[in-house]
Amino acid sequence: MSAGVETGAGLYRGYSPALDNRRRKLPVMLQLAPESRYPAAFEDGLKVLNWLAKQANLAECSKSMGVGGGSHGGGGGGGGEFNKDNHRHIVDSFGASVVEPWLASHGDPTRCVLLGVSCGANIADYVARKAVEGGKLFDPVKVVAQVLMYPFFVGSVPTRSEIKLANSYFYDKAMCMLAWKLFLPENEFSLDHPAANPLVSGRSPPLKSMPPTLTVVAEHDWMRDRAIAYSEELRRVNVDAPVLEYKDAVHEFATLDVLLKSPQAQVCAEDIAIWAKKYISLRGHEFSY
């Protein structure tokens, strides 16, 4: 099974959206503002890739140093359980946490899909960028795709939806501006901050290097047009970057507890699964950097 990483916490303390519990995932607990402002939560997301890489490498060391049934006998041919004594020795030597047995047995770090919900989508996109920039630094972890669910993108030049839907239900402009003011350091506050605006100049790596990116938007989400614009820019440089738009839907329509069983939420979950399957299950769709 592929490894999945999901970020879904709010930018600031007091907001905690529910996550779709039908997906197999590795949820990430993030530091929240105003106690921990940018870049704390973004760096937390990146630490997960480092943790996955460390887990994969420790698991490989454990297997090579002492699994039952190796070439010296002890249980007949290949495979087997971890040798607990050798496993403990590796952990002590590296000063690392214990190898997660489920990940060691079932996870495939070479096919990692990032999924971010709301402002978690901003974090997922940041982590994807850093994974591309880092290259072999995170081996054997490879980010093969990302899913951005109604990202929290903004900018100084308003889009059509930001004007038309400024007073939209659930998340209006005033609430979003407050969130960014609480999240960004006071001396860095700008709607064109790289954490907020995905299309601001000077961001790296080049868009053409980004992994396949699925974006989910809601008809009545005032931030939708900027998310769509980001997808359009990715497609211009031949990145697989489709947009799934859901009618009569609001921000977080597929992840809030009270809406999880709605037809739109159910369809959205299936749509995401179908798209992501190309990159975690079917050969011939591999993305590399």
**Closest of 17, 18, 26 to residue 179, by C-alpha:** 17
Please tell me which residue in 44, 125, 221, 225 is annotated as part of the active site.
221
Rg, C-alpha atoms of the chain: 20
Contact call for residues 216 and 246 (beta carbons, < 8 A): yes
Specify whether 118 is catalytic.
yes
Distance between CA atoms of 154 and 90, rounded to whole angstroms? 46
Query: Is the Cβ–Cβ distance between 111 and 279 less than 8 Å?
Result: yes
Helices (H), 107-185: 119-134, 160-164, 173-183
The DSSP H or E segment spanning 107 is: none
d(CA 225, CA 262): 24
| Cα maximum dimension of the chain | 71
Please state, in angstroms and as integers, the Cα–Cα distance from residue 64 to each residue in 68, 95, 98, 137, 233, following that order.
10, 19, 16, 22, 45
Out of 87, 193, 220, 251, pick the active-site residue.
Answer: 251
> Active-site residue 248, yes or no?
no
Q: What element of type H or E holds 10? A: none
Q: Which of 2, 62, 118, 231 is catalytic?
A: 118
Which residues on adjacent β-strands are paired with residue 36? Answer: none
What amino acid positions are annotated as catalytic residues?
Answer: 118, 221, 251
